[in-house]
Amino acid sequence: MENWESEVDKDLAGRPSPDAAPGDGGEQSGAKLRKEASDGKELYLNIRVLVGMMTVFVLLFTFVARIIVVSGPSMENTLIEGDLILVWSLGYTPEQGDVVVLTQESYQEDSIVKRVIATEGQTVDIDYRAGAVYVDGVVLKEDYIKEAMQVPSYGEGINHVTVPEGCIFVMGDNRNQSADSRFPGIGIVDTRCVIGHGLLVLFPFHHWKGL
C-alpha cells in the first residue's frame, strides 16, 4: 500500500496545474509580460528625462547664456579669432566698457563682438589726429586697444554723435581693422539687437580670462 500511494504522489506532482496556461506555462508567460512592461516603463522614463534635459539646455542657451565663437580680427588683442566666449543674456543691460555680442542684419547675419563705448544720452567724439575717443568731452583711457587709432579704410565715418535712447555706440579693440558704429553699415546699435555680455574666454585654455 505504501508503495502504491508513493507512485500516485509522484504522478500527480509531474502533472501541470489545471489553472496553468498551455505551452510554456502560466508563470513563465506572466513573468515575461511583467518584464516587458518593466522594460517599456524604464524606456519611457529614460526618454522623458532625455527630453527634459534637452529642453533645459535649449532654454538655457537661448535665454540665459550661450557660447559664441569669435570671428575676425576686430577685437584683437582682447579676443582672437577662434576664441570661445561665454555670453550672459538674462536680464543684461549694456554698460560702457562691456564687451558685447550683437546682431546687425543690415551689415551681416552672423553675430558681432564689440566693446560698448557709450550708452544712451552720451556724446561720442572721435579725433583721428590725436588718436583719441571722447565720451561727454572726456578722453577714454583705452589700454585694451591693439594699436594707435588711424582713419579706417571706409573713412572717418560717424565721428560725432549723441547716442539716442535705447541705443549704444560700439567699437572694436582693433580700431584699424574694425567695422563698428563708425561704419554707416552698422551705425548706432539698438539695444534690442544685443545678445548678451561677454563674460570670459572659455577656450583655448591658454587664453582663458575674464572680459
Which of 70, 99, 102 minimizes the C-alpha distance to 189? 102
Does the active-site annotation cover 106?
no
- Kindly report the backbone phi and psi dihedral angles of residue 177, in degrees, each rounded to the nearest multiple of 5, phi listed first: -140, 50
DSSP-derived letter for residue 15 is: S
Burial (CB count <10 Å: 0-12, 13-18, 19+), residue 120? middle
Strand 160-162 with 123-127, pairing: antiparallel
- Kindly report the backbone phi and psi dihedral angles of residue 126, in degrees, each rounded to the nearest multiple of 5, phi listed first: -115, 120
Residue in 111, 114, 178, 181 annotated catalytic: 114
Does the active-site annotation cover 114?
yes
**Three cell numbers, residue 50:** 532625455
Residue in 6, 29, 38, 74 annotated catalytic: 74
CA distance 187 to 7: 103
Paired with 152 in beta bridges are none
Which residues are the active-site residues?
A: 74, 114
